[in-house]
Amino acid sequence: MNKLILASKSPRRRELLDRLGLAHTVISIDTDEWYPDDLSPVGIVNHISREKAAAAATMVAPEDVVITADTMVFLDNRKLGKPQSEEEAFEMLSSLSGREHTVCTGVTVMQGNRMLTEAESTRVRFAPLDEDTIRAYIRTGEPMDKAGAYGAQGYGALLIEGIEGDFFNVMGLPIRHLSCMLRKFHVPVL
């Protein structure tokens, strides 16, 4: 019997699969998130997602269906990773203030030698933020482990003026898109 495996350290991805009621096992993988310099934002997240799937392949049975993903925030095609300090979080949030940015997630579904990788992009518009609001948000601790220094599912929702596209993609896993991919591997979601 094949198992559904989420190869991710992200508690948000785990939570989203749990919400769908999909029985799954979680494994943790370590990969170097290197990518060629000439890739587009979508190319970057797809490349890293495939690398994660390749790393997971050595830990699962060939009949298992594996899900990997990589999410990044881009402002003017410049990657905003996870902040390494509160000051870096402040700089990121200040740069996002009153502007639109893109959240891209590359998702790979793999079973044996078969691998499918697709990406989802969502546009997020931040409200104009003053320094006091940014500092108060940073004090919550929420920005420190999130790409772009915010979490749309938490206090970060207070910073967002609008979203165009899949909200769950901003959380790290575009579940509608993933469900279409899983159907191609005969994994029913509904």
Who contacts 77 (Cβ-Cβ below 8 Å, separation ≥6)? 40, 41
Instruction: Decide: 73 and 160 in contact? Cβ < 8 Å.
Output: no
* Options 64, 70, 130, 166, the catalytic residue: 70
pLDDT of residue 58: 92
Which residue blocks in 117-186 are alpha helix, DSSP H?
131-139, 167-171, 175-183
pLDDT of residue 170: 95
For the question of residue 70 being annotated catalytic, the response is: yes
* Per-residue pLDDT in tens (0 to 9) along the chain, 190 residues: 579 999 998 889 999 999 988 889 999 998 888 888 899 999 999 999 999 999 999 999 999 999 999 999 999 989 999 999 999 999 999 999 999 999 999 999 999 999 999 999 999 999 999 999 999 999 999 999 899 999 999 999 999 999 999 999 999 999 999 999 999 999 988 8
C-alpha R_g of the chain: 17
Structure tokens belonging to residue 168: 């769950």
